[in-house]
Amino acid sequence: MKLETLLVHSGGGLEPSSGAVSPSIHLSTTFEHTPEGEATRDHVYIRMGNPNQDRLEDALAAIEDGEKSLVYASGMAAVTGCVQVLAPGAHVLMHKDVYSVTRAISRELLPNWNIEVSDVDMTDLDAVRRAMRSDTELLWAETPSNPAMDVIDIGAVADIAHDAGAQLAVDNTFATPVVQRPLQHGADIAMHSMTKYLGGHSDVQGGALVFREDGDRVERARRVRTITGGVLSPFNAWLVLRGLRTLGCRMARHVANAEAIAVALAGHPGIEGIDYPGLPDHPGHAVASRQMDGYGGMLSLRIRGTREDALRVASRVRLIRNATSLGGVESLIEHRQSIEGPGSVTAPNLLRLSTGLEAAEDLIDDLVQALG
Ligand SMILES: *Cc1c(COP(=O)(O)O)cnc(C)c1O
């Protein structure tokens, strides 16, 4: 089946008891079991699994072309769930530009668990090969990356990982499965902050891991989730599944708007550069053209001048809102270095833009007046 159809139907199916077309929300925390503790149907206790979580996990596995999926209370719970299956002493290789809180895990938590992390520029395949160690178990990529919009060749990095017996996980939040399906390029795990495009309306938090192959690693991750309890609530699972139903249509508009803005503002005297993989002069354009269907709805504007010049532009937008997060129906702008705080490696003149579903003309007019 085609992706557009999977987005509408996967994880669906009538509710057997009522024939309802839209799924019910099962809030029950507990499910009947035999006196010996065996489930009489599919579930026992909410932390271990629930009908709404099941539907969403089935849908995500189908959409990302994986065998299994696990959903979590947030994107960060999913990242944590992924690294918590590693044994002490393991080495993780991480792209140098990743979501700032993913970097915080690598700096603040993993060393306590005796897991060493090194950063590498994964757009440079030779650098990745050189950084591999005999104890490297996991490579963590994010493409396009947040917020530098680096594009990593998923297939090539997967080959390097597999040659060394390691696995590749890709944070696919920026692209979404509509634009990029990392498992089809050889990645072992695709990760999502469902708080962003998958939910799509800035009103639900969730995270997911999708695994190319079912097996021991999935079962270990499921066990970690059951123990640590970072599981998605039924209502949030229901909201994200509803979001998936329109993801195909929404992404088409997000991508078209981002492209229109990138083209309209390229060459504007107030802009030093635009980081958008759809622009032919982006260093990752060729790789992005191979591994993505469209170039996504996120772009970063490097404002000509200083941090203060960038903040001035951010303060002048009228329609576009200053707020963190991304992937909702409304356009958001953010001075990333300010929100990332101390230790940020983001350029001081960079404004990250999440293009919403408004008319492109209105967004371009707003940015042009803000640039002055
Ligand atoms: C937001 C985000 C996360 C974290 O997700 P939460 O749902 O906020 O926990 C991880 N990676 C990327 C790329 C993100 O944008």
Which pLDDT does position 257 carry in this prediction?
98
Ordered strands of the 167-171 beta sheet: 68-72, 207-211, 189-193, 167-171, 136-142, 91-95, 116-120
Which pLDDT does position 102 carry in this prediction?
97
Mean pLDDT (whole number) for 83-103: 96
Distance in angstroms (rounded) separating the CA atoms of residues 92 and 306? 35
Mean pLDDT (whole number) for 307-312: 98
pLDDT at 283 over 90: yes
Q: Which domains does the chain have, with CATH numbers?
A: 3-244 (3.40.640.10), 248-371 (3.90.1150.10)
C-alpha to C-alpha distances, 216 to 68, 89, 224, 298, nearest whole angstrom:
12, 19, 12, 35
Q: Is 76 in the pocket of ligand 1 (CB under 6 A)?
A: yes
Mean pLDDT (whole number) for 96-104: 95
CA of 80 to the centre of ligand 1 (A): 12
**pLDDT tens digits, residue range 120-143?**
999 999 999 999 999 999 999 999
pLDDT at 316 over 90: yes
Mean pLDDT (whole number) for 145-159: 97
CA of 36 to the centre of ligand 1 (A): 41
Distance in angstroms (rounded) separating the CA atoms of residues 302 and 101? 22
Q: Is 99 in the pocket of ligand 1 (CB under 6 A)?
A: yes
**What is the four-CA torsion angle of 109, 86, 187, 93, rounded to 10 degrees?**
50
CA of 304 to the centre of ligand 1 (A): 28
CA of 369 to the centre of ligand 1 (A): 30
CA angle 210, 299, 279 (to 5 degrees): 105
Q: Which atom of ligand 1 is nearest to the CA of 196?
A: 1
Q: Which of 34, 45, 47, 97 is nearest to 73 (CA)?
A: 47
Shortest-distance Cα residue to atom 2 of ligand 1: 193
Q: Is 173 in the pocket of ligand 1 (CB under 6 A)?
A: yes
Which pLDDT does position 272 carry in this prediction?
98
Active-site annotation, residues: 47, 99, 171, 196
**pLDDT tens digits, residue range 29-57?**
999 999 999 999 999 999 999 999 999 99
**pLDDT tens digits, residue range 328-365?**
999 999 999 999 998 898 999 999 999 999 999 999 99
Which pLDDT does position 174 carry in this prediction?
98
CA of 95 to the centre of ligand 1 (A): 15
Structure confidence at residue 88 as a pLDDT band (50, 70, 90)? very high
Which pLDDT does position 93 carry in this prediction?
98
Q: Is 145 in the pocket of ligand 1 (CB under 6 A)?
A: no
Which pLDDT does position 125 carry in this prediction?
98
Q: Which atom of ligand 1 is nearest to the CA of 174?
A: 13
pLDDT at 91 over 90: yes
CA of 204 to the centre of ligand 1 (A): 12
Shortest-distance Cα residue to atom 1 of ligand 1: 193
pLDDT at 21 over 90: yes
Q: Is 196 in the pocket of ligand 1 (CB under 6 A)?
A: yes
Which pLDDT does position 338 carry in this prediction?
96
Whose tokens are 């696990």? That residue is 70
Q: Which of 160, 143, 161, 163 is nearest to 152 (CA)?
A: 143
Mean pLDDT (whole number) for 141-165: 97
Structure confidence at residue 17 as a pLDDT band (50, 70, 90)? confident
CA angle 285, 355, 343 (to 5 degrees): 75
Name residues whose C-beta falls within 8 Å of residue 160's C-beta, 6 or more positions apart in sequence.
125, 128, 129, 132, 139
Q: Which atom of ligand 1 is nearest to the CA of 206?
A: 7
pLDDT at 16 over 90: no
**pLDDT tens digits, residue range 226-275?**
999 999 999 999 999 999 999 999 999 999 999 999 999 999 999 999 99
3-state secondary structure of 96: coil
Q: Is 193 in the pocket of ligand 1 (CB under 6 A)?
A: yes
Average pLDDT, the chain: 97
Q: Is 100 in the pocket of ligand 1 (CB under 6 A)?
A: no
Mean pLDDT (whole number) for 83-105: 96
pTM of the prediction? 0.97
Give the tokens for residue 222.
């499921």
Give the tokens for residue 181.
């399906």
Q: Is 200 in the pocket of ligand 1 (CB under 6 A)?
A: no
Mean pLDDT (whole number) for 190-214: 98
pLDDT at 307 over 90: yes
